[in-house]
Structure 1
Amino acid sequence: MTSALPAAVLWDMDGTLVDTEGYWMAAETALVESFGGTWTHEQALTLVGSGLERSAEILQEAGVRMSVTDIVDHLSDAVSRTLAEQGNPFRPGARELLAQLKEAGVRTALVTMSLRSMADTVAGQMGFDAFDLVVAGDEVTRPKPFPDPYLQACAQLDVDPADAVALEDSPTGVRAAVAAGVATVGIPLMVSLTGAGADAVWPTLEGRTPADLAEFHAAHRAARTTEVTR
């Protein structure tokens, strides 16, 4: 029997849908160095998946003498310019899977800690009406790893979190989705997801279809039911 599709699929943006982590790291490095500091690849990795305000505070600790708001705006503008110039650097299989989900009538949301302006840039370069909803970092009370962004997305889509699937690349994002009660697939990019709590880890979305998500979601719900009835 074919498993039913999830009611919604919730996509992280940076590192999951589009491989922009390198853009962020380049912008961070240039900013820190402009104040005479150094910014290593290892330091940059610690910001992957974090909220922009927390990232800005860490950059202040690295010597950036700007306000949190100004740092967030500066980095967002830099990355947005690169996106506008170079287009969306899609991760393998991501755009194809998203298009298939839309064709199948599955609701979709972009759940990102980037600013709304950047999320709109990415969504606008998809080539089709990809998302029913965008939840951005400047529109949530608490950032990932808190569950708020995913709970907000489910509430606005009128979907029970248990009926949704989240796709994430970072431990911070995985923890947020899992805490919201959403079945979560990790697709690691820059950092390992070991110990983050993802319900499944796929090395790539290339070749994945809505049927794969349906099978994953059905297995996850069955496992949860078994746990509850023990």
Structure 2
Amino acid sequence: MPRLTIGQQHYTVKGILFDKDGTLLDFVALWGTWCQFAYAHFAERFDGPIAPLDQLWGLKSDGAGQVVDYDCNGPVAMGSIGDLLSTLAWQGYQQGQPWGESIRLARACKEAADAEIQRIRPARPLPGVVDFVHQCYGLGLLLGVVTADETEDSKRHLEWMGIRPLFASVIGDDAVERGKPFPDMVYKACGELDLAPRDVAVIGDTNGDMQMGNAAGAAVTIGLAPSEHEVSLLGDAKVIVSAYDQIILEK
């Protein structure tokens, strides 16, 4: 079986499960853009103030209002689309809208944001990830994606990056009863790959990813943390790397 080497640690695995946003692709380029579209569509429906985008979903904006960063432990990083829409709908309810109308409006804003994302396709692979995934595939590792995003949207994002055929399993939050940090996604992906959780590595950028992998009994949970601040947020990772070139693959 192929072996992963990280520093002095060695792990023999048959497959790797990747989180998607912030692990395979640039989180801000995709979700910062999506959130700005959805929020703008929603905010224009109300005269009164609603919570700032940063406060609402755990994003960080610059002085011009452009999203430049995000909270790895916040709603946009760890929550499902349903979580984000419920949070948005709550703002409408606070403005006096009936809950049913608020959630309908939130869903309409999601569809508008989805259409904009489909048009501009801002799915940008993280540095080194395309080469790493191809190397994994070439060594015979079975690959899957386990993400808080929805399944069909996730498949499209992988297609836009040109790596969809390399993944034999794509599991979104809508495909399981319980999302992260519960182990359900790992169990379902392993079932589709015909692997035991102990035979896979889980790679992600949030502690929810680490907790999910650990709860499932994965061989190793690898936290991706480009900065020291992000390292501090991955308390449950078995190992932490700042870039993919720190993971050595051997046959």
Q: If the TM-score is normalised by the length of the shorter chain, which range does it land in?
A: 0.7 to 0.9
Amino acid at match of 2:203: L
Which of 1 and 2 has greater Rg?
A: 2
Name the SS for the 2:17 alignment partner. strand
Distance 1:196 1:158 in 2: 29
Report what 1:202 is aligned to. Answer: 241
Residues 66-77 of structure 1 mapped to structure 2, 5 A cutoff: 71=106, 74-75=109-110
User: Could you tell me the TM-score, scaled by structure 2's length?
Assistant: 0.71
Contact 1:6 1:164 in 2 (8 A): yes
Report what 1:61 is aligned to. Answer: 90
Amino acid at match of 1:164: V
Amino acid at match of 2:187: L
Amino acid at match of 2:209: G
Residues 154-173 of structure 1 mapped to structure 2, 5 A cutoff: 154-173=190-209
Distance 2:121 2:22 in 1: 16
Amino acid at match of 1:41: D
Distance 1:5 1:70 in 2: 48
Per-residue displacement from partner, 1:149-206 (whole Å, max 9, x unpaired)? 1111112211111110011011222211221111110113697353530111111214
Report what 1:20 is aligned to. Answer: 27
Residues 91-110 of structure 1 mapped to structure 2, 5 A cutoff: 91-110=126-145
- Cα distance change of structure 1 residues 196 and 76 upon mapping to structure 2, 3 Å threshold: farther
Report what 2:155 is aligned to. Answer: 120
Contact 1:161 1:181 in 2 (8 A): yes
Distance 1:184 1:115 in 2: 22
User: Could you tell me the TM-score, scaled by structure 1's length?
Assistant: 0.77
Amino acid at match of 1:51: S
Report what 2:225 is aligned to. Answer: 188
Shift of 1:76: 6.7
Shift of 1:108: 0.2
Amino acid at match of 2:25: V
Amino acid at match of 1:10: L
- Cα distance change of structure 1 residues 40 and 84 upon mapping to structure 2, 3 Å threshold: closer
Shift of 1:138: 1.4
Q: Which runs of 5+ in 2 are unaligned?
A: 4-10, 60-70
Distance 2:248 2:110 in 1: 34
Shift of 1:21: 3.5
Greater fraction strand: 2
Shift of 1:119: 1.1
